[in-house]
Structure 1
């Protein structure tokens, strides 16, 4: 084999020592012992009495110079789009480690297709999603822990179509599947013809590893097309996808231990579409539709757009029956919000995550800069929206009521505690995949009360397969009940009451807190829907 004259191969190292005295050889050996230490130690070695110069294996010491990548303020880049053809969206998703630059930091983390977020998938109601998922992550180096709710085996994965009304069984939206490294798996999810159109997403859901993988950026948007087809003020607006994430990493730019995620102050900065503070361009008077997905692994975000209102038209993939004008938007992990933004006069405006108390401070800071310039556009916001697609659930429909209690335990000095000192529970129990916690008859229409007795944290309740209609929060009835698949339940006795129709699909699926640290550590239950 031909050797690069600049590399650190053994042949060159020995040749370089042929004419040295014993004293010089000892000096060179001492210098070599410093290799692998901090960069300042390497520089010191190179300057040591000239002897180290003879033993210098490589001018770069294995460091490859890279072209500078701007840390922020670059135009917003949206993920690759993959669309259905003839009623089928057929694609592959490869899970593997990848290098990526973000916010001036070089990371080496798990990814879909080498990037974050993964490709945006677009399909229509009544169509089928077929994925060949290739798990090219390395083998796991640990076994199963005695406590299944201790994070483990970070390279197992699976696939969840978040918010889909689809089968939770077989090779469909089945989060009980385990997809091991070194293998490929088929996924096939068929949407009903009457499925709601809107903004959905996908992510791993393997208990033990989902948190690590999602915090690495293994997330992606999934758009079910066709909403607001008869509203020209929406269909003519430019559509932008904004996938919000929290950027976390260790000193090596990796996420290999749960300690990297669990401290409440773990977030380094926030990102949109894998970019730190990107630029979104608009023209004066222009209306854009922003599909906002909070794909963060843990925290709520309170969005504030400087000198602009936010006009909500859909939540969690379900159309609203009327536009909601907001000064700020609170969006929890797992939630989506479709927003219309009408640009003001020329200038630069900040989109920020504002301070919010979720029991501990939510991450704050810049998300994007909105640059308004160019020729004005005379675009209007819609005066009215079509009726919401799902009928409101009446009192007379209710067939059963039940209560679910979220709770947690913590060490006396909460902030100083190690993650293993905390416990997260539903109805007093940690998750057990072999236990059925809730059994619901197919066709039932139920009213659930979700209570959070945890003194320290809010929680984000999410249930698979069927959306629910929130009717009251903390004892106060909503003037207009709201369809969701994820909802914040406030700490210290906060309560959310919702109603849901358990339609079309039998099988076992999950309910859990979508603050993924909490889910991973036990705050999850199984739901079995059965046919009588």
Structure 2
């Protein structure tokens, strides 16, 4: 194995069949929403096979080098959480293999790209000041296509890279650099060091290679990162059972694969929803018990409006940043890329539906049951906290602002929008499609800026996301927020929706991205480069 200056090593590509247990997903009536794919216990049996001519029959003969999947119930099984990998002595050192794997999910056998043979990938747990070291092995087969004339046409689905979504860290070198291209058949070193004062909370990782990110994320190449220590001094939260819920949309073609952009683009493409790769799992609670739910919307395209029957949802953090006070909510709207940390206090014994409720984002968001919460057993006398510690980031005052700028999201679509082919659509930021060789926004290191994001698209909401530095939303559609919210992703409504936020561009120079986190839109051009420079 030989290293090159870009942190890549040659490896022998080995593809294998993977027998995955307890893969399940949830049926969505109208369209697709946020799903979570799960990396449960996976027993990998490696055998070489022909990708072009493979069969998807479950009872393959052992003489063909295949192992039959163990039958598993399609739904209604206890919620299973992904494998956890933790930092030790300030370093989380691990390997992530990207390759095809079989998955049983919702009664369907899929063959899709994955991290470590599962979906989601392993949960990474670390602390502020820790270093994340990953050996990323791209064990996918070679690409069969070249670069298209229009780089915002999906292409080269087996190139990948790694993005630590929401992290305040360097975007350069072998750190959180989404400009890297990790081609098949090689391994790549990634090293990301968090500042000692980094916010603590729920984050995640996913590929961000322009041209292939959408295909890979929709296949289930996502995983959670927990930066530990938030609310450690709040006993009502620290003693609560913690549950990780990765929401995803499940899509596949007639062969149980995701190999063509037409599989993703129609608004009705999603087959069903999942939590941790399970269809309608069961979440067990005792009467009066308080649980902390870390909810990640890792869906490739759609918002999700979360509703727990006969229960309030107490928000304590958004996008990995603690709130200064609990927000009691009847429903939680969570967009692709966003996270919501929720406290749930169980009511009387019974079974309660955890649903995706109706929401209009220009097309119907996913609707239907996500899970069943079963409350039973001996009661527990657990309390919700009366107060939370102050929020970790200081509010940005008017006097701090050094510059203001405006960013416009727009798109073109055929007249018969819902029936259009993806090549009839184009997505823009400031009237331009993404060009990685062009710098669109230049910001001086140390600047404190106020940005106005406008969505002129008639048909769809968009989800604005920017890397490296979080931002504080101060108003939406002309209405100031009573309490400004720190976020790294925010919904900008269609037909002239406006969001105003403020951000501190501190600590790190380099080039990174802003884009719509509805990945169909990003893949088709709705992305810009941001360069932070030191004068």
Q: Please give the TM-score of this superposition, normalised by the length of structure 2.
A: 0.88
Structure with the higher helix share, 1 or 2: 1
Mapped to 2, the partners of 1:406 and 1:136 lie a distance apart of 36
Residue 61 of structure 1, CA deviation = 11
Q: Distance in 2 between matches of 1:64 and 1:524?
A: 43
Q: 2:399 aligns with which of 390, 393, 396?
A: 396
2:195 to 192, 197, 209: 192
Q: Kindly state the Cα deviation for residue 165 of structure 1 after the two structures are TM-superposed.
A: 0.1
2:166 matched to 1:163? yes
The aligned counterpart of 2:94 is 91
Instruction: Spell out, residue by residue over 1:296-349, the C-alpha distance to the aligned partner (whole angstroms, 9 max, x if none).
Output: 000000000000000000000000000000000000000000000000010000
Counterpart CA distance in 2 for 1:73 and 1:383 is 34
In structure 2, distance between residues paired with 1:452 and 1:384: 36
State the shift of 1:37 in Å.
12
CA distance in structure 2 between the aligned counterparts of 1:36 and 1:260, rounded to whole angstroms: 19
Q: 1:148 aligns to what?
A: 151
Shift of the alpha carbon at 1:67?
A: 3.5
Aligned to 2:350, which of 323, 347, 350?
Answer: 347
Q: Which residue of 1 aligns with 2:459?
A: 456
- Is 1:78–2:89 an aligned residue pair? no
> Residues 106, 36 of structure 1: CA spacing in aligned structure 2 closer, same or farther, 3 A cutoff?
closer
Larger mean CA deviation between 210-219 and 409-418 belongs to: 409-418
Q: Note if 1:202 corresponds to 2:205.
A: yes
Cα deviations by residue, 1:490-531 (Å, 9 ceiling, x for unpaired): 000000000000000000000000000000000000000000
CA spacing shift, 1:62–1:443, aligned 2, 3 Å: closer
Distance in 2 (CA, whole Å) between partners of 1:234 and 1:351 is: 21
Larger Rg: 1
* 303, 307, 316: which one aligns with 2:306: 303
Q: 1:240 aligns with which of 228, 240, 243?
A: 243
Which residue matches 2:44?
A: none
- How many Å separate the matches in 2 of 1:138 and 1:443? 43
3-state DSSP of counterpart to 1:415: helix
What is the rounded CA distance, in whole Å, between the counterparts of 1:280 and 1:479 in structure 2? Answer: 34
- Give the alignment of 1:31-46 within 5 angstroms: none
Deviation at 1:229, TM superposition (A): 1.2
Q: Give 1:60 deviation, angstroms.
A: 12
In the alignment, is residue 282 of structure 1 matched against residue 265 of structure 2? Answer: no
2:180 — aligned with what? 177
Task: Say if 1:63 and 1:81 are closer, same or farther in 2 by CA, change over 3 A.
Answer: closer
Q: Within 2, Cα distance between the matches of 1:91 and 1:491?
A: 42
Q: Is the 8 A contact 2:56 2:109 kept in 1?
A: no
Q: Distance in 2 between matches of 1:184 and 1:130?
A: 13
From the superposition, tell whether residues 61 and 508 of structure 1 become closer, same or farther in structure 2 (CA, over 3 Å): closer
1:322-337 → structure 2 map (5 Å cutoff): 322-337=325-340
- Alpha-carbon separation, structure 2, partners of 1:230 and 1:99: 43
Structure 1 residues without counterparts, runs of 5 or longer = 1-34, 40-57
Matches within 5 A, 1:214-293: 214-293=217-296
Q: Check if 1:477 corresponds to 2:480.
A: yes
Which residue in the other structure is 1:493 paired with? 496
1:318 is aligned to: 321
What is the aligned partner in structure 1 of residue 125 from structure 2? 122
Partners in 2 of 1:103 and 1:265 — Cα distance? 18
How far is the alpha carbon of 1:68 from its aligned partner? Answer: 2.2
1:35-86 Cα offsets, whole Å, 9 max, x none, are 99999xxxxxxxxxxxxxxxxxx99999976442100000100000000000
1: CA distance, partners of 2:114 / 2:146: 23
What is the TM-score with the length of structure 1 in the denominator? 0.89
Q: Secondary structure at the match of 1:233?
A: helix
Q: Distance in 1 between matches of 2:67 and 2:121?
A: 27
CA distance in 1, matches of 2:63, 2:158: 32
CA RMSD in angstroms, aligned pairs only: 1.8
2:146 aligned counterpart, secondary structure = coil
| Whole-Å separation in 2 of the counterparts to 1:295 and 1:518 | 15
Q: Is the 8 A contact 1:269 1:365 kept in 2?
A: no
Gapped regions of structure 2 (runs ≥ 5): 1-52
Name the counterpart of 2:513.
510
4+ aligned runs moved over 6 Å, structure 1: 35-39, 58-64
- Match of 1:200, SS state, is strand
Q: What is the number of residues matched between the two proteins?
A: 481
Report the Cα offset of residue 412 of structure 1: 1.3
Aligned to 1:131: 134
Instruction: Determine the C-alpha separation between the residues in 2 that align with 1:180 and 1:218.
Output: 16
Report the CA distance between 1:474 and its aligned residue: 0.1
